[in-house]
Structure 1
Amino acid sequence: MRAAYKYAAQDSSKIETLYNDLEGVTKADSVELVAYKGAIVALMARSAKSIKGKKEGFLDGVGLVEYAVDKDSSNIEVRFVRLSIQQNVPKFLRYNDAIENDKAFILENFNGITSRSLKSHIADYVSHSKHFTDEEKARMIGL
C-alpha cells in the first residue's frame, strides 16, 4: 500500500488503479487503510469534471483521513498520510491547519518506528520534501 500510494501521488495514471484497489475499504478496516483510501479519494477528485465534483471528492477524501486521525492520533503512518496531503494541496483549499503539528509529531516519533518499510517510506518522502529543513532531514535520516 505504501509503495502504491507513493507512485500514485507521483503518477496520476496510477491513482485510479489504487482507488479501485481500495474501493472496498470501510471505516471498519485498519486506520492506515482508511487514511490511504482518503488520500486516494482526495487525489481522484482532481480528475472530476466539475468544480462541485472536485470539491465533494476532496472533502470525502479528507473526511476519511480525518476519521483515521481521530480514531488513532498516535499512529505515525496516519499522521504522515495527512501531512503528505496537507503539504501538497493548494492553499486555497484551506486544508493545512495540522501541518506543523503532524510534522512535529513525525520528527519526535520517527526514531521509534519499528517497521523498516514504514521508516523507509517516510524517510524517502522527507528527503524530497521542501517542507522539511536540511537540519530536520539530517536529524531524521542523516542526510
Structure 2
Amino acid sequence: MLKYFAGILIVLSVSISFSVKAQNTDTWRLQLRRAIDSEAVTDSLFDKLDKVSPKPPLVGGYLGALYGLKAKYTWNPYSKLKYVDNAQDAFAAAVKKDPHNMEIRFLRLSVEVNLPAFLRMSRHVDEDRVQIIEQLQAKNYPGNNNRDLTITIIKYVMENGRCSPEEIERLNEQLALLK
C-alpha cells in the first residue's frame, strides 16, 4: 500500500511539475511581449529567469531575448554591445542544448533581424529560418503544440525572416493547416 501511495505521489508531482512549467512558460511569453515596450518588465522578467537553476534551454533562449531588449533600452554604446554579446552567448548555449527547438530559434531570429547590419551579428537568421521551416514541416510545434504561438512564429518569419518565394509558399501551407 505504501509503494502504491508513493507511486501516486510521484505521478502527481511530475504532473504538477509539468503543469507549473507550462504555466510559467505561458507567463514568460506574455511578459516578453510586454517587455518589448517596457524596460521595467524586461528587468523583472530577466531577474526571474536568471534565478532559474538549472537553466533549461528555453530559459536560455528567453534570457537571450531579454539581453537583446536590455540593449534596446540602454543608451551607453558599450553596454549595448555587451548586452548583444550576452544575447549571442545565451542563444548559442540554448541552441546547442536544444537545436531543434523552434521557439528558441524564433527568439534568436527576432533579435538578430533587428540588429543593425554594421554589427555583423545577424549570422544565424538564415539558419534559424531554415530550421523553423523544417520543424514546421515535421509538425514539431513549439510550446506543446501551442497553435497561437506557432501562427505568430510563421507570420513573423514570413515578414522578417528574409524568405525566398518558395519558403513563403511553404509557410503559407503550414499556416493554412493551422487555421
TM-score range, shorter chain: 0.7 to 0.9
Q: 1:131 aligns with which of 124, 140, 160?
A: 160
Distance in structure 1 (CA, Å) of the matches to 2:140 and 2:99:
16
Amino acid at match of 2:169: E
The 5 A counterparts of 1:88-107 are 88-107=114-133
Alpha carbons of structure 1 residues 42 and 25: separation in structure 2 relative to 1, 3 Å: farther
Q: TM-score, normalised by structure 1?
A: 0.82
Aligned length: 140
Superposed structure 1 runs of 4+ greater than 6 Å apart: none
Give, in angstroms, the shift of residue 36 of structure 1.
Answer: 0.3
Distance in structure 2 (CA, Å) of the matches to 1:59 and 1:75:
21
Q: TM-score, normalised by structure 2?
A: 0.67
Whether contact under 8 Å (2:106, 2:153) holds in the other structure is no
Give, in angstroms, the shift of residue 136 of structure 1.
Answer: 4.2
Give, in angstroms, the shift of residue 8 of structure 1.
Answer: 1.9
Q: 1:16 aligns with which of 14, 19, 43?
A: 43
2:70 corresponding residue in structure 1: 44
Structure number with higher relative contact order (C-alpha < 8 Å, ≥ 6 residues apart):
1
In structure 1, runs of 5+ residues without a counterpart are: none
2:149 corresponding residue in structure 1: 121
Alpha carbons of structure 1 residues 4 and 122: separation in structure 2 relative to 1, 3 Å: farther
Give, in angstroms, the shift of residue 56 of structure 1.
Answer: 0.8
Amino acid at match of 1:30: P
Structure number with the higher helix fraction is 2
The 5 A counterparts of 1:42-121 are 42-110=68-136, 111-113=139-141, 115-117=144-146, 119-121=147-149
Deviations 1:77-100 (A, max 9, x none): 222221121122222222211111
Give, in angstroms, the shift of residue 42 of structure 1.
Answer: 2.0
Percent identity reads 24
Alpha carbons of structure 1 residues 49 and 128: separation in structure 2 relative to 1, 3 Å: closer
Distance in structure 2 (CA, Å) of the matches to 1:78 and 1:25:
17
In structure 2, runs of 5+ residues without a counterpart are: 1-27
Q: Larger Rg: 1 or 2? A: 2
Alpha carbons of structure 1 residues 79 and 96: separation in structure 2 relative to 1, 3 Å: same
2:7 corresponding residue in structure 1: none
Q: 2:174 aligns with which of 127, 140, 143?
A: 140
Does residue 1:5 correspond to 2:32, yes or no?
yes
